[in-house]
Chain A
Amino acid sequence: MALIAEQTKRLVKLHGWIAILLSMLLYTVMLTGTVVVLDNEINHWAESEVHTDELFTKPIDRMYQRLDAQVPNELKEVVSISAGPDDTLRFFFGSTQAGPEARAGVFGRQYLMDPDSGSLLRAEAGYQEDLFGENPGAALARFLVDLHVRLHVPGRWGLYLTGTLGVVMLISAITGILIHRNIIRDLFVTERPGGRVVSVRDRHNLAGVWSLPFALLLSFTGAFLSFAVALGLPVVAMVAFGGDQDAALEAVTAKHIEVDTTPAKITSIDEILKQANAIGGNPAAAIEIHNAARADALVETFHSASGGNLRGMTLAFSGPSGAFLGRTHVVGTGGSAGATLAELTAPLHFGNFAGLTSKIIWVALGAAMTFTIVSGVQLWARRREDDPVWVVGYRAFVYVAWAVPIAMVACCYGYFLTKLSGDMVAWTARAFVLAMLVCALLSILWASKTIAWQNRRFATILGVSLLLLPLVRLQMGGLSLGEAIYYGGHDIWLMDLIVLLCGGVSLFYARRRFREEPQPA
């Protein structure tokens, strides 16, 4: 098919714009991914919550037995005990609902208890998904995580989008390895001065080569996590289970317990926890009981990774006798290569296997990867400076590169400023959208200015807004630095420190660029 010159020109334009659009989305996913490595810390910082891992070191059996006596046996298919909002202990008793009007999910009763006094603070009924997601205090972390996981695109489409971006990143990493002839030399390359194309290439090579192994790992695990349930499960279910996705999920996650419907009581939860905490090496983070009113009741305790292990641990106990049954796997009925690999993808993607140390390494390497995307687009655009499509495309990328971090800071403002009125869920999202719109307006107003000029202004806005953020948090009822240190709220002062550091770096960048700008005579 012979194309006339005009058609070719249009196709080249389309090609350029798709590349620009993909780089913008990829940048957004990478930047948000770098930030949400610290999602738990952000949550504790936002809620001014002094987090302790010792929720299940205190006795909880009396609370459980008291609630168990009040709940009908029909609502004891799944019992979940975990940390609730505002330092409470959450007990949820529920069952999957049958019938044409029942929606998918577990319906039941939730009780929020004071872990110290054992008194009931709140009780409500509903679907587990709604009750667990109701906490407005977690709105900020949840918004940022959703932005990373699905770019706020609803349903499976968001997962398809981020999964595809993961594959795009994987291709970039593989082709990066293939086209680099001197990877070792590029590990120590220094940027050549003068702001030339080679200078940008040196920057890109340096950041890219250092983050290559990490780019491979993160893009692969990220694509897997996006596609596993959204695409993998339906496809496998279609072929191997005649389209029955529930059967496929059951085959993968089934507990394979010998069914015994004889009524029975759960033995002391405290005794089970004592064993679990000793075997798991650290206190349990959550407990789940299956078929709590029957003789085949299974108690599972979840433990985070400890003692140099990459993976966390799930331990199984018999409900009526309290006997230790062994380790359970996220997928499958026993230890196998598939189960191990599936379990490893999450900790390797989230970087949460060695506490704060691994998280900080993941943040640093994520930042390097984000910078690689920026420098890659810069390099691509510098080589096409004469092409008007790329000039406009690059300006659009510059807008996204600044607007996304500024909007992320704005959603923190939206959260904190509405914390006292309790309307954080709506205003976290609104503030993000508003900031994106304001930045778009500024980009249009500054269209006649150079990109360097825009960079300086945007960096100043970002720097100042970051530096003021801890002050706003404090004014809206957050813990002060002294209180955070005194009560052991390490995440709070750590996040304040990170915010101030990022603000300082942003302002330093803006001021340095100001100095480089030629001054009028």
Chain B
Amino acid sequence: MLSQLGLDAHEVFALPGLKRPNSIDVERMWRWVLALPGALIISILVMASFPMILPEGAGGVNHLVFPVLAFPLIWATLIILPVSSLHIRKLAMIYGGLLALCLTIIALSFVV
């Protein structure tokens, strides 16, 4: 409804007399956290963990080349998602899960 009027929630609550709900600030903060440090850290960790799970291929380099090749795409996607998502809490959980998964794979690589 608001978007059809060309407005967003932040602009509406910036109008005088309307109190801005605290949840909007929290949501905005999470979007920033996930899109900036979150996206960068997770994309680097994905790049670091992929060599452990990808096959080497005929040339023996697929597991090393693909993560580096995919890094810009992964980073860009992880920035766009929190900005556009309507369900930031669910997305935060997915990001958290991805972070835990990558850290586990990396930790296992040092143990094994």
B52 CB → nearest A CB, Å: 7
Which one of B48, B59, B73, B77 contacts A238 once the chains associate, using CB atoms below 8 Å?
Answer: B48
**Other contacts beyond A2-B25, A3-B25, A171-B76: 8, CB < 8 A:** A167-B75, A220-B72, A223-B71, A240-B52, A335-B59, A336-B60, A336-B62, A342-B65
Interface centre among A174, A248, A345 (most CB of B within 10 A): A174
Q: Does A315 contact B (CB under 8 A)?
A: no
A220, B73: Cβ atoms closer than 8 Å: yes
The chain A residue with its CB closest to the CB of B83 is A175
Residues of A near B47 (CB, < 8 A) are 232, 235-236
Is B79 part of the binding interface, using a Cβ–Cβ cutoff of 8 Å? yes
Q: How many A-B residue pairs have CB under 8 A?
A: 117
Interface residues in B39-85 by Cβ distance below 8 A to A read: 44, 47-49, 51-52, 57-69, 71-73, 75-77, 79-80, 84
Question: Does the CB pair A240–B64 fall under 8 Å?
Answer: yes
Judge whether B76 and A231 touch: CB under 8 Å. no
Q: Does B104 contact A (CB under 8 A)?
A: no
What residues of chain B lie closer than 8 Å to A336, measured between beta carbons? Answer: 57-62
Instruction: Please pick, from A235, A238, A331, A334, the residue contacting B58 in the complex, using a CB distance under 8 A.
Output: A334
Asked if A251 and B68 make an inter-chain contact with CB atoms under 8 angstroms apart, the answer reads no
Q: Are A167 and B72 in contact (CB under 8 A)?
A: yes
Q: With the chains together, A337 CA to B69 CA distance in Å?
A: 12
B44 near A235 with CB under 8 A, answer: yes
A267 at the interface (CB under 8 A from B): no
Bound form: Cα–Cα A333–B56 in Å: 11
Residues of A within 8 A of B48 (CB): 235-236, 238-239
Which residues of A sit under 8 angstroms from B63, Cβ to Cβ? 240, 338
Task: Give the interface of A toward B (CB within 8 A).
Answer: 1-3, 163, 166-167, 170-171, 174-175, 178, 219-220, 223-224, 227-228, 231-233, 235-236, 238-240, 248, 251-252, 329, 331-339, 341-342, 345
Interface pair A236/B72, CB less than 8 Å apart: no
Tell me, in angstroms, the Cα distance from A2 to B72 when the chains sit together.
34
Instruction: Judge whether A251 and B58 touch: CB under 8 Å.
Output: no
Residues of A within 8 A of B80 (CB): 171, 174-175
Contacts known (A174-B80, A224-B68, A224-B72); A251 close to B61, Cβ less than 8 A: yes
Q: How many angstroms between the C-alpha atoms of A220 and B60 in the bound complex?
A: 24
Q: Are B29 and A1 in contact (CB under 8 A)?
A: yes
Number of chain B interface residues as a range: 20 to 34
Q: Do residues B59 and A334 form an inter-chain contact, with CB atoms below 8 A?
A: yes
In the complex, what distance in Å separates the CA atom of A435 from the CA atom of B78?
Answer: 40
Q: How many whole Å from B97's CB to the nearest CB in chain A? A: 20
Would A223 and B62 be within 8 Å (CB), given that A239-B49, A337-B57 are in contact? no
Question: Quick check: A337 and B51 within 8 Å, CB to CB?
Answer: no
Pull 20 A–B residue pairs with CB atoms less than 8 Å apart, ordered by A: A219-B72, A223-B71, A223-B72, A224-B69, A227-B68, A227-B71, A227-B72, A233-B68, A235-B48, A236-B47, A236-B67, A239-B51, A240-B63, A333-B59, A333-B60, A333-B61, A334-B59, A337-B57, A338-B63, A342-B69
CB distance from B86 to the nearest CB of A (A): 14
On whether A166 and B72 interact (CB within 8 A), knowing A331-B61, A338-B61, the answer reads yes
Pick the contact of B68 from A175, A232, A329, A334 — CB < 8 Å? A232
Given contacts A2-B22, A239-B52, contact A228 B59 (CB under 8 A): no
Q: In whole angstroms, how far apart are the Cα atoms of A235 and B42 in the complex?
A: 13
Which chain A residues border B72 with CB–CB below 8 Å?
163, 166-167, 170, 219-220, 223-224, 227
With a cutoff of 8 Å between Cβ atoms, the chain A residues found around residue B51 in the complex are: 236, 239-240
B106 within 8 A of A: yes
In the complex, which of the residues B25, B52, B59, B73 contacts A329, with contact meaning CB atoms closer than 8 Å?
B59
Q: A2-B25, A224-B72 are in contact. Are A251 and B57 (CB under 8 A)?
A: no
CB distance from A203 to the nearest CB of B (A): 21
Min C-beta distance of B13 to chain A, whole Å: 12
* Chain A residues, CB < 8 A from B66: 337-338, 341
Given A239-B48, A240-B64, residue A335 in contact with residue B58 (CB < 8 A): yes
Q: Which of A170, A219, A239, A341 contacts B65 (CB 8 A)?
A: A341
* CA A163 to CA B47, docked complex, whole Å: 15
Q: Which residue of A lies closest to B51 (CB)?
A: A240
Q: State A231–B43 Cα separation when bound (angstroms).
A: 12
Q: Which of B25, B59, B66, B106 has the most CB of A within 10 A?
A: B59
* Of the residues A2, A219, A232, A338, contact of B59 by C-beta under 8 Å: A338
- Interchain CA distance A3-B47 in the complex, whole Å: 36
Min C-beta distance of B66 to chain A, whole Å? 6
Residues of chain B contacted by A175 (CB below 8 angstroms): 80
* A106 CB, min distance to chain B CBs, angstroms: 23
Most chain B CB inside 10 Å of its own CB: which residue of A1, A171, A223: A171
Give 6 nearest A-B pairs by CB, closest first. A332-B59, A232-B68, A336-B59, A338-B65, A223-B72, A332-B61
Partner of B62, one of A174, A178, A337: A337
The listed residue (B44, B52, B61, B76) touching A170 by CB distance below 8 A is B76
Q: Which residues of A contact B71 (CB under 8 A)?
A: 223-224, 227, 231-232
Residue of B whose beta carbon sits closest to that of A173: B76
- Assess whether A239 is in contact with B106, with CB atoms less than 8 Å apart: yes
Assembly CA distance A2 to B26 (angstroms): 9
B60 touching A167, Cβ below 8 Å? no
A252 in contact with B69 given A1-B29, A239-B48 (CB within 8 Å): no
Chain A neighbourhood of B68, CB < 8 A: 224, 227-228, 232-233, 236
Neighbouring B residues of A233 by C-beta, 8 Å: 68
Bound CA–CA A171/B43 (angstroms): 15
CB-based nearest B residue for A235: B48
A223–B61 Cα distance when bound, in Å, is: 20
Q: A166–B25 Cα gap in the complex (Å)?
A: 30
A331 pairs with B59, CB closer than 8 A: yes
B39 CB to nearest chain A CB (Å): 10
